[in-house]
Amino acid sequence: MNAEARAAALVEEANDALDEGDPATALDRFEAALRDDPEHWGAALGKVEALHHLWRADDALREVRALAPPRGEEDDPDRVELEGRILEVLGDLEGADRLFAEAHRLEPDDFSLPVRMNEADFKTILDRVLESMPGVIRETIVQVPVLVESKPSAEVADRAPHITPDIVGLFVGSTVGEKVTALSGYPDVVLLFQRNLERAGRSRTEVAREIKVTLLHEYGHYLGFDEEELEHLGLG
């Protein structure tokens, strides 16, 4: 197998590792691919994605900016959008939205503009979604409330190492039937991450649909369903 073919195989392994929630292995494979083929664009972007998933935002930002084209040349919308997601983690929300807008300009069919809302607008949509939930979920919400945060934080990730900066929701606490105290520092709660949800649809209707799917998924975790069962129910 020549170096180019070896690099392609390593990138495929790396992408599978990312899909399986193993960014550390993905990073190792992407770096190995780049040693075989330093010009492999997918490996270069994948390396940044893996760093992003590992919450290594400063490293990811340095790497993604090194991939930017010379001034005056057309950029890659995947690179632009990825830099925007990294800037969100670093707290530069205005810079992030400028990059999301640029990715949309470059490839409008693949990169929609975030559906930005203020806190009151998002709460209005959330309230409507909660009213539409199945009865068993509405009863559960009384015991396990929904909290809205702008973005997941590194502090939350320290307590839930499987999460990435791009997750839209998270159940934190002890599932039904567990008797141990949660190690999260939170009471039982479902967290929604507004800025990530705003990028999950092209309209408020689509964002509302994503909120509903996310809540069903996270309350499914509370009720004790594992990922395979949630997939079977269409809530994966």
* CA–CA dist 24, 18 (Å, integer): 9
Distance of CA 52 to the CA centre of its chain: 10
32: CB partners within 8 A, 6+ apart: 10
Helices (H), the chain: 3-19, 23-36, 41-53, 57-66, 77-89, 93-106, 119-131, 135-143, 154-159, 194-198, 204-222, 227-232
CATH architecture, domain 119-232 = 2-Layer Sandwich (3.30)
Identify whether the C-beta of residue 223 lies closer than 8 Å to the C-beta of residue 178: no
- The confidence score (pLDDT) of residue 157 equals 83
Q: What residues in the chain have per-residue pLDDT under 50? A: 179-185, 230, 233-236
Name residue 171's amino acid. Answer: F
158: CB partners within 8 A, 6+ apart: none
Give Dmax over CA atoms of the chain in angstroms. 60
The pTM for the full model equals 0.87
Structure tokens at 61: 């930002």
Residue-wise pLDDT tens digits, 73-87: 999 999 999 999 999
Task: Locate the domains of the chain by residue range.
Answer: 3-106, 119-232
- The confidence score (pLDDT) of residue 154 equals 84
- The confidence score (pLDDT) of residue 177 equals 55
* CA–CA dist 168, 147 (Å, integer): 12
Name residue 204's amino acid. Answer: R
- The confidence score (pLDDT) of residue 176 equals 55
Which CATH number does 3-106 carry?
1.25.40.10
Identify whether the C-beta of residue 11 lies closer than 8 Å to the C-beta of residue 29: yes
